[in-house]
Structures are given as structure tokens and as C-alpha cells.
């Protein structure tokens, strides 16, 4: 099963520019988490800090007792083998076939025989639905296929933690829906801990067990998906509704005067009442039960007393049909 990732007090800057500060959260083992945020809020920087590719100025990232920020480089490199990373653009080598792209980590980091490499690569190609395309070059296939090839490559070393950097970028809604289902099916098959960075609301609403949001150099919230999806925090409501009115501006947060003017002159209808929480995607027929979802249910039910009322109601509603089915 996947491994818990504990982030404590993480702060990252580039020169005088503070990207985010004092970020603390826990990615539960084997569950799917999403980090939302407007463009430019440092979501990709956060991913790279978790895997140790960037060094935050403060804080810790604990994985199996190893701190990806402060531990010796040898320990960080060894722990990094637990990760699979799916880059925004697939990051494929243009002159290599899909097969050779996906085989690359195995040839680079293991001493496996070519027959064993072929077996592993073809298994992963099958999982992401690319059988028959393994001989093609990246330039000969669609963007969606390149995404899936990038995901297959992230899987070949049997990672226990998978990081996906905007897997939906450049995809149309239909292919985004296919990718969302693929991520859930993948989690059901390998029970890896997954963190997906995105600003796609369809993925955010249907895929994760847990959700967080970065804005204005801070982690606004992180927890069970229902907490964020029912939140009345202005920045969360604006983002989820896709409204211009609210704290998020074109390039960064708006100043107080702009916000006050919007509140005075805004006549557009505001969101009222509890926001509907759409059901989370289930694994496709024939897939195993998602163990992360079972652990998540037990964990969330134990923390109900700490959650806002709207989130509690959404959680109980989401589990009611399952409970009814179990009794019948």
C-alpha cells in the first residue's frame, strides 16, 4: 500500500519572493489527494519540494522517517525511488518510441534483463490503455495519449507515492473524464498514495478523497473533499464557482479597495445554501475495491465532530447509499 506523507511548516521563496509559507498537511496512505489553486500559486513548486527537487527554507517532509528537506542526500535519493512523477507535458523524449520512453527508468535505475523490462513495460502500457501504440513516437500521437504514456512511465518502478502535475492540461473535457477514471482505477489496482495538482474543477470535484487549496502564499485548507467543496470561504467559493468577484485577481490577490468596490456594486447572484457535492468516481467494473476509500471512510467518520456542519451532511449523504446497500 501507499506511504503517508507528512508536511510540516514548509516555507519556500525564490529570492525575495515568498511562494508559500508554513504549509502543513498529511497525505494519508493510499488515498487520492488534490491540491487546487489559481495559476501562479506555487502548486508545481509544492510537488517538487515534496520529492526533494527543490529545497524549502523551512519545514520538513517526512516519508518513512526520511526528511526530504534536511536528510542526507543519499537518504533522499533512496526515498525518491518510492515516487512516480507524472509531468505536466508528459516530458517524453521525442526521438524515442513510447516503449523506450516508458522503459527508460528501468534501464536507468535497475539491472533487469530486457525480457523482464519488456514484461513490465507492456503491463503498464496495458493499464493506461496504450496497447498497439508502443512503437509510435510522441509526435505521432495525441496529447491525451502522451499524458497516458507519461503516467505509464511513472508506474514502471512500482511507486508507492504518485505525484501528478496538472494531468489535464491541454486535454478536452472528454479526455479529462477518461483520465480521471484512469487515476481512480489506478489507485484501486496499486493502492498508491496520490497527489494531483490541478486547477480543473471536474477532476477536483470527482476524483480525490482529500482536497487542499493554495492561495496568497498560504494553504487555505486541506482535508476531506467535502470540507472544501462545501466551504463558504470567499476564495474557495470564488474559485469553485468561476466568478470574477472575490479575492482572486488576474495576476494575484486583489487589494481591499477593489474588493470593497465589488461588494458595493456587484449585482450578480451570490451562492446561497449548501453547495451540491457530486459523487466521487468509483473504480470501473472488474476493478478491485479501492482500499484507500475504505480506510478513508473509517478515518473521516472518526473526525466528524471536528468538521463543519455542511461537510458532515455531505459526508453522511455520500455514505448513506453504500450503507443501505450493505444492509440489504
- Reported as a single tens digit per residue, the pLDDT across 281-299 is 999 999 999 999 999 999 9
pLDDT of residue 147: 86
CATH number of residue 134's parent domain = 3.40.50.300
Between CA 118 and CA 140 the distance in angstroms is 22
* Average pLDDT of the residues in 92-120: 93
Tell me: the pLDDT tens digits for 201-222? 889 889 999 999 998 889 999 9
Residue at 13 is within a domain: yes
Whether residue 299 lies inside any domain: the answer is: no
Between the ranges 240-249, 264-273, 312-321, where is the mean pLDDT highest?
312-321
**Band of the pLDDT at 267, cuts 50, 70, 90?**
very low
Does 286 map to a domain?
A: no
129 CB-near residues (< 8 Å, 6+ apart) = 148, 182
Burial string for 83-96 (b: 16+ CB within 10 Å, else e) reads: bbbbbbebebeeee
How far apart CA 26 and CA 19 sit, in angstroms, is: 20
Distance from C-alpha of 321 to C-alpha of 54, rounded to nearest angstrom: 44
Average pLDDT score over residue span 94-102: 94
Q: Is residue 312 part of a domain?
A: no
Long-range pairs, 139-145, Cβ under 8 A, ≥24: 139/94, 141/98, 142/175, 143/170, 143/171, 143/175, 144/171, 144/175, 144/178, 144/179
Residues 39/60, Cβ–Cβ less than 8 Å: no
String of b and e for 218-247 (b: at least 16 CB within 10 Å)?
Answer: ebbbbbbbbbbbbbeeebbbbbbeebebbb
Q: What pLDDT is attached to residue 114? A: 96
What residues make up the domain containing 234? 5-265
Instruction: Name the H helices within the chain.
Output: 43-50, 73-80, 98-109, 114-127, 143-155, 173-190, 201-206, 225-229, 234-241, 256-265, 291-302, 309-327
User: What mean pLDDT is predicted for residues 74-96?
Assistant: 87
Our count of domains for the chain comes to: 1
pLDDT for position 106: 93
CA distance 125 to 133: 9
pLDDT of res. 77: 92
Task: Give the pLDDT of residue 116.
Answer: 95
In a domain, 322, yes or no: no
In the predicted model, what is the mean pLDDT of the chain? 87
Q: Which of 18-27, 181-190, 244-253 has the lowest mean pLDDT?
A: 244-253
In a domain, 272, yes or no: no
Q: What is the pLDDT of residue 258?
A: 58
| 8-state DSSP, 168 | T
In a domain, 223, yes or no: yes
pLDDT at position 31, please? 97
Is 271 part of a structural domain of the chain?
no
Res. 119: pLDDT tops 80: yes
| Residue % of the chain over a pLDDT of 90 | 63
Which pTM was predicted? 0.87
Name the pLDDT band for 247 (thresholds 50, 70, 90). Answer: confident
Q: Taking 70 as the threshold, does the pLDDT of residue 127 lie above it?
A: yes
Q: Is 115 helix (H, G, I), strand (E, B) or coil?
A: helix
Amino acid at each position: 500500500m501507499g506511504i503517508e506523507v507528512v508536511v510540516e511548516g514548509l516555507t519556500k521563496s525564490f529570492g525575495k519572493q515568498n511562494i508559500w509559507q508554513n504549509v502543513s498537511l498529511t497525505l494519508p496512505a493510499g488515498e487520492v489527494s488534490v491540491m487546487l489553486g489559481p495559476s501562479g500559486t506555487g502548486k508545481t513548486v509544492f510537488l517538487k519540494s515534496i520529492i526533494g527537487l527543490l529545497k524549502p527554507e523551512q519545514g520538513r517532509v517526512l516519508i518513512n522517517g526520511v526528511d526530504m528537506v534536511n536528510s542526507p542526500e543519499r537518504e533522499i535519493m533512496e526515498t525518491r525511488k518510492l515516487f512516480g512523477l507524472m509531468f505536466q507535458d508528459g516530458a517524453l523524449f521525442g526521438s524515442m518510441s513510447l516503449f523506450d520512453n516508458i522503459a527508460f527508468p528501468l534501464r536507468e535505475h535497475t539491472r533487469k534483463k530486457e525480457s523482464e523490462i519488456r514484461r513490465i513495460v507492456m503491463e503498464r502500457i496495458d493499464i493506461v490503455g496504450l496497447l498497439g501504440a508502443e512503437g509510435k513516437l510522441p509526435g505521432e500521437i495525441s496529447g491525451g495519449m502522451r499524458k497516458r504514456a507519461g503516467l505509464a512511465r511513472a508506474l514502471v518502478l512500482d511507486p508507492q507515492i504518485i505525484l501528478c502535475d496538472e494531468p489535464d492540461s491541454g486535454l478536452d473535457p472528454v479526455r479529462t473524464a477518461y483520465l480521471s477514471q484512469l487515476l481512480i482505477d489506478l489507485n484501486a489496482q496499486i493502492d498508491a498514495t496520490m497527489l494531483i495538482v490541478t486547477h480543473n474543477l471536474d477532476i477536483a470535484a470527482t476524483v480525490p478523497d482529500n482536497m487542499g487549496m493554495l492561495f496568497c502564499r498560504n494553504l487555505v485548507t486541506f482535508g476531506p473533499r467535502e470540507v472544501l467543496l462545501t466551504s463558504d470561504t470567499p476564495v474557495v467559493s470564488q474559485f469553485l464557482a468561476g466568478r470574477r468577484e472575490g479575492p482572486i485577481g488576474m495576476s494575484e490577490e486583489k487589494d481591499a479597495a477593489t474588493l470593497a468596490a465589488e461588494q458595493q456594486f456587484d449585482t450578480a447572484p451570490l451562492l446561497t445554501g449548501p453547495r451540491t457535492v457530486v459523487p466521487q468516481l468509483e473504480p470501473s467494473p472488474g476493478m478491485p475495491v479501492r482500499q484507500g476509500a475504505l480506510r478513508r471512510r473509517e478515518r473521516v467518520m472518526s473526525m466528524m465532530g471536528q468538521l463543519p456542519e455542511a461537510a458532515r451532511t455531505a459526508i453522511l449523504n455520500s455514505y448513506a447509499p453504500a450503507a443501505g446497500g450493505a444492509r440489504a
